Structure 1
Amino acid sequence: MYVHEEGNLRQFIELFAGCGGMSLGLQSKNFDLVLANELSPMAAETFALNHLGIDLSKTTSAGSNKVSWLASNHSIDNLDKRLRENPYETRTADAGGYSDINDEDLVHGRHLIIGSIVQLNEFLEQELNANIPLKDKLTVDLVSGGPPCQSFSMAGLRQKDNHRNRLPWEFARFVGLTRPKIALLENVSGILRAFKEGGNEFHAWIEVSKAFASIGYAPICIHVNAKYVGLPQNRPRFIMLALRRDVLDKLLRTPLNDAEKEALELALESLSSSFRWDQMKYWDVSNSADAGFFLGDLFGSFFTHRTSTEWVPSQSALQDLEISSKSESPQSSYVQKINILFGHKLSSTKTNTQLRKHTNKVKQRFRVYQVLENVGIRSLFSAICNENDPQVLKILTAPLLKEEFLFEGNSLRTPRDMNEVVDLFKKLKTKKHTQRALVRSAPAPAALSIPDDCCHYSETELRTLSVREVARLQSFPDSFEFKSKVTTGGMNRKFEVPQYTQAGNAVPPLLARAAGTSINTILERIETIETESLKRRW
């Protein structure tokens, strides 16, 4: 299904697989999928179609022994109900539910397991305790994944005790059971910001690092941004590469620059029981002091687009999809690139292009967001809505009295005075505080998982983005088809993962490809050491 580059195929397991963005990027760098796990049946439906070639919405069973459920309230004959059930309320077979998994599913190859990582770890421990040699059969180079991150996100509620915060520890638990050479964990950059509690600070990234160090995996922590790897999106992310002790020992015997050596030696020190974790650090792609780390061979793949002139703008991803665009409008080099790198043969036409309908009031709000982006002061919306002093309001509205954003029929006009601006802003006020407009000449913002997180940059298209447009910004190829519901709302948001959320929350394939490049370099280095060691023996 995928065209691999020249070189060794490396086996990997994908946890928290979502719709499959991480897997897509890794497979483009010669990683071969052995096993995937995803909690949401809605996201799993997309993963199964694009990575296993199985359309779960058109079959009466999981098919070909490639998809299994850890727990469900419905039998396999009711697959349509399985695909829509709340995964947090499913019952195991012991509790009156259904389970399809068996030990062969773990080693069968290219298998998707739907259900909780907690239940998967429990199952794996039971199999190992029964002396079934799964560890030998599950020998892989890499375990990767991006645990859900809403409670770490700076755009969210920042809940230290949210149950989702335990998932990175379950990730480490799985790694401890399967013992890959390397573990790759991706998360929001909010994991780097301290939680404050009772006057003390709690650093989630350090606690996660401790969990991996406790099982003999040395953590190398990196703060990256997807725009530096060619994504048309300003998407800062936390990356942890956790190296098994023997892998790290060999890597330290290879040629390293000073920054790489510092990072690896610090990772090695963290495995000591006497290590002081207040000395732990991460390497930041936007910090000039860390430049040496990202200019070396090991981690340079995270820093290929180094200046703002090299960043890919939103327009490069979306221009040929604009309603006003002519059908023969050429695709940008960016779109051509992702279609070549990640495209496959499941579909020859673009899917997920449906546009949402908006009222005039919503369109007016979108135009206001565009204007605020143009003047570079997005905070003006709430400031004007909450300010009562006329003198202050006069200063706040001054930059807006040169912009056209009031509707008059089907045309736009400039507001006449301060009062007209204030009245409009208060009429359009909403509880949602993260809405913004794309800027044609700049990368998109990170928040894209809800339809109205952002609106289009075009004055003639006052609308949200389609799922395909979100996917383009995330570096998915046009042949990648998103399944299940398009969007959701109300209480269903707590467990449903519709198409917009699948695309917006995914690990961007281009970022995963960059990580795969780095991991390949590390593995090639240690393989050279192993080969030289064998030669000396003989």
Structure 2
Amino acid sequence: MVFVDAFAGCGGLSLGLLQAGWRGLFAIEHDDFAFATLKANLVERQSAHKFAWPKWLPKEPIGIQSLLSKHGPALEKLQGTVDLLVGGPPCQGFSSAGRRWHDDPRNKLFSSYLKLVKLMKPKVVLIENVRGFTSDFETGANYASKLRTALAVDYDVHDALLDLSAFGVPQRRTRYFVLATSRSLGVKDPFKELKQELPSFLRSIGLQAPVSSKSAISDLETVRNGTQASRDTAGFLETKYKAPLTKYQKLMNAGVVHPADLRLARHNDEIADRFQQIIDLSHAEGRLNTSINEEVRTKFGLKKRALRVLDPDMPSPTITSMPDDLLHYAEPRTLTVRENARLQSFPDWFEFKGKYTTGGHLRRREVPRFTQVANAVPPLVARAIGEFLMKAMTAPKQRPKSAAKRSQQAAEFGAHL
């Protein structure tokens, strides 16, 4: 079963499908940093979980529009060989995490995605996006509705809002999914069937949902591990690492001795003291996993409204590309890239490339590590969907009996009465 990933980002969706036993042909990603991460982990790394990659496509960043213009004939030759086309067009213009831009050019990229669908004619199309993708903008444009209408010409189209914590991801993250299936497959209600399969999937990987934040990242606490000089950034410290503690941590760690992306933010004493007070107040007032209130903001002179303290006993809120949106549940600091990756269900062997953060006008042009993690489809979710789709697409179909056959059987049955 072969898939192609468009708008692949750092490769979370691809990784999950590869873990589910799918064969990846290639992935499309235009950002240098995100593609560097995908290439290092899913193209060049010696692993069973890697892309085959065709000779006609350079292993370098490319946008979907450039792909269509430069490699149209090669894509057309793939008709009949690609079972699944996946990908989530950039969501920044739809996301409720920041200001929405109804005219953001990235919102229009799903039109190019539809051109790719027409060209390759996959059996199944899987699209993931933020909840806001289903909302009407001031212009009245509802991109989810337009997408469903366009796909319905050739496919049976199904969509759903899914809480990804149900998949064992230690994060309350609701995302919009579309599954467009070839009519020949006869898939009736895939999302209902997927939810029915989740208990079996979770048992197969040794998890029970929901998974809490502490169960996901307690082995990464600096109090337990200590710190050392950062291995990839001079002047920074990083968390040392000892060993996993919980079932989820063991699943994510899988024997990795020195996980990457453990660099700690440089908080001065004043900031650390402020964070500790906010953490203590949030615990005392029972305001965990939710934005700090106006009283706390006034007390500490903060303008930021999105700041939240993790609840150790619950899945985290949706992580964002802003590294200072979440505070640790116990330690006076923001989270590391690795901790965010754990909350997204990335295994510890998966290493992120490029800058850690970016700012200003570059936020709309670069995808640094924190953003790569936040934008990704959690691999556990992709793995569950991949396993479900493989079963659904390979299961023998029961052919309806012909009228003549039914009449013959009815006559035979009557003769025995």
TM-score class, shorter-chain normalisation, is: 0.7 to 0.9
Match of 1:211 in 2: 150
**Aligned partners of 1:381 and 1:425 also within 8 Å:** no
**Aligned partners of 1:302 and 1:515 also within 8 Å:** no
Q: How high is the TM-score relative to the length of structure 2?
A: 0.81
Give the SS at the match of 1:210: helix
Tell me the amino acid that sits aligned with residue 19 of structure 1. Answer: C
Tell me the amino acid that sits aligned with residue 77 of structure 2. Answer: L
Match of 2:342 in 1: 472
**Aligned partners of 1:153 and 1:189 also within 8 Å:** yes
Q: 1:149, 1:373 → 2: CA distance? A: 33
**Aligned partners of 1:483 and 1:499 also within 8 Å:** yes
Q: 2:104, 2:292 → 1: CA distance? A: 31
Match of 1:452 in 2: 324
Tell me: CA distance 1:251–1:470, structure 2 relative to 1, closer, same or farther (3 Å).
closer
Task: Give the total of aligned pairs.
Answer: 376
Q: 1:53, 1:380 → 2: CA distance? A: 41
State whether structure 2 residue 248 is matched by structure 1 residue 334: yes
**Aligned partners of 1:317 and 1:335 also within 8 Å:** yes
For residue 329 of structure 1, report the CA deviation from its aligned partner.
5.6
Tell me the amino acid that sits aligned with residue 474 of structure 1. Answer: Q
**Aligned partners of 2:215 and 2:248 also within 8 Å:** yes
Q: 1:156, 1:113 → 2: CA distance? A: 30
Tell me the amino acid that sits aligned with residue 117 of structure 1. Answer: I
Give the SS at the match of 1:492: helix
Tell me: CA distance 1:445–1:114, structure 2 relative to 1, closer, same or farther (3 Å).
same
Tell me: CA distance 1:329–1:29, structure 2 relative to 1, closer, same or farther (3 Å).
closer
**Aligned partners of 1:448 and 1:470 also within 8 Å:** no
Q: 2:283, 2:358 → 1: CA distance? A: 28
Question: Of residues 35, 51, 65 in structure 2, which corresponds to 1:118?
Answer: 65
Question: Of residues 381, 387, 393 in structure 2, which corresponds to 1:523?
Answer: 393
State whether structure 2 residue 160 is matched by structure 1 residue 222: yes
Question: Of residues 132, 135, 148 in structure 2, which corresponds to 1:193?
Answer: 135
Q: Which has the larger radius of gyration?
A: 1
State whether structure 2 residue 354 is matched by structure 1 residue 354: no
- Bigger shift: residues 12-21 or 375-384: 375-384
State whether structure 2 residue 219 is matched by structure 1 residue 320: yes
Tell me the amino acid that sits aligned with residue 518 of structure 1. Answer: F
In the TM superposition, what whole-angstrom CA distance separates every residue of 1:169-209 from its partner, at most 9, and x where no partner exists? 22121111101110110111121233244xxx443211111
Match of 1:300 in 2: 196
Q: How high is the TM-score relative to the length of structure 1?
A: 0.64
State whether structure 2 residue 317 is matched by structure 1 residue 375: no
State whether structure 2 residue 27 is matched by structure 1 residue 36: yes
Match of 1:159 in 2: 101
Tell me: CA distance 1:146–1:301, structure 2 relative to 1, closer, same or farther (3 Å).
farther
For residue 487 of structure 1, report the CA deviation from its aligned partner.
1.6
Match of 1:16 in 2: 7
Question: Of residues 403, 414, 425 in structure 1, which corresponds to 2:298?
Answer: 425
For residue 117 of structure 1, report the CA deviation from its aligned partner.
0.8
Give the SS at the match of 1:105: coil
Query: Percent identical across equivalent pairs?
Result: 35
Question: Of residues 465, 468, 484 in structure 1, which corresponds to 2:354?
Answer: 484
Q: 2:213, 2:386 → 1: CA distance? A: 25
Tell me the amino acid that sits aligned with residue 276 of structure 2. Answer: R
Match of 1:50 in 2: 41
Tell me: CA distance 1:453–1:31, structure 2 relative to 1, closer, same or farther (3 Å).
same
In the TM superposition, what whole-angstrom CA distance separates every residue of 1:493-528 from its partner, at most 9, and x where no partner exists? 221111111112111101111211221122023x54
**Aligned partners of 1:36 and 1:112 also within 8 Å:** no
State whether structure 2 residue 77 is matched by structure 1 residue 134: yes
**Aligned partners of 2:16 and 2:386 also within 8 Å:** yes
Tell me: CA distance 1:372–1:178, structure 2 relative to 1, closer, same or farther (3 Å).
same
Tell me the amino acid that sits aligned with residue 447 of structure 1. Answer: I
Q: 2:130, 2:305 → 1: CA distance? A: 19
Tell me the amino acid that sits aligned with residue 511 of structure 1. Answer: V
Q: 1:146, 1:191 → 2: CA distance? A: 11
For residue 317 of structure 1, report the CA deviation from its aligned partner.
1.1
Q: 2:136, 2:323 → 1: CA distance? A: 29
For residue 318 of structure 1, report the CA deviation from its aligned partner.
0.9
**Aligned partners of 2:158 and 2:180 also within 8 Å:** yes
Match of 2:236 in 1: none
For residue 353 of structure 1, report the CA deviation from its aligned partner.
0.8
In the TM superposition, what whole-angstrom CA distance separates every residue of 1:323-344 from its partner, at most 9, and x where no partner exists? 111565642101222345xx8x
In the TM superposition, what whole-angstrom CA distance separates every residue of 1:63-96 from its partner, at most 9, and x where no partner exists? xx988xxxxxxxxxxxxxxxxxxxxxxxxxxxxx
Match of 2:415 in 1: none
Q: 1:204, 1:151 → 2: CA distance? A: 11
Q: 2:86, 2:278 → 1: CA distance? A: 37
Tell me the amino acid that sits aligned with residue 134 of structure 1. Answer: K
State whether structure 2 residue 105 is matched by structure 1 residue 105: no
Tell me: CA distance 1:299–1:228, structure 2 relative to 1, closer, same or farther (3 Å).
closer
Tell me the amino acid that sits aligned with residue 121 of structure 1. Answer: L
For residue 466 of structure 1, report the CA deviation from its aligned partner.
0.9
For residue 159 of structure 1, report the CA deviation from its aligned partner.
2.0
Q: 2:19, 2:187 → 1: CA distance? A: 24
- Bigger shift: residues 164-173 or 374-383: 374-383
Which structure 2 residues correspond to residues 66-105 of structure 1 after superposition, within 5 A?
104-105=55-56
Question: Aligned-pair RMSD on alpha carbons?
Answer: 3.1
Q: 2:148, 2:319 → 1: CA distance? A: 26
- Bigger shift: residues 487-496 or 473-482: 487-496
Which structure 2 residues correspond to residues 502-521 of structure 1 after superposition, within 5 A?
502-521=372-391
State whether structure 2 residue 307 is matched by structure 1 residue 438: no
Match of 1:463 in 2: 333
**Aligned partners of 1:224 and 1:302 also within 8 Å:** no
Q: 2:12, 2:368 → 1: CA distance? A: 15
**Aligned partners of 1:366 and 1:437 also within 8 Å:** no
State whether structure 2 residue 176 is matched by structure 1 residue 238: yes
Q: Which consecutive unaligned segments of at least 5 residues does structure 2 have? A: 203-207, 226-240, 406-417
In the TM superposition, what whole-angstrom CA distance separates every residue of 1:414-443 from its partner, at most 9, and x where no partner exists? xxxxxxx7xx7354312x322211111111
Give the SS at the match of 2:224: coil
Q: 1:447, 1:330 → 2: CA distance? A: 22
For residue 142 of structure 1, report the CA deviation from its aligned partner.
0.5
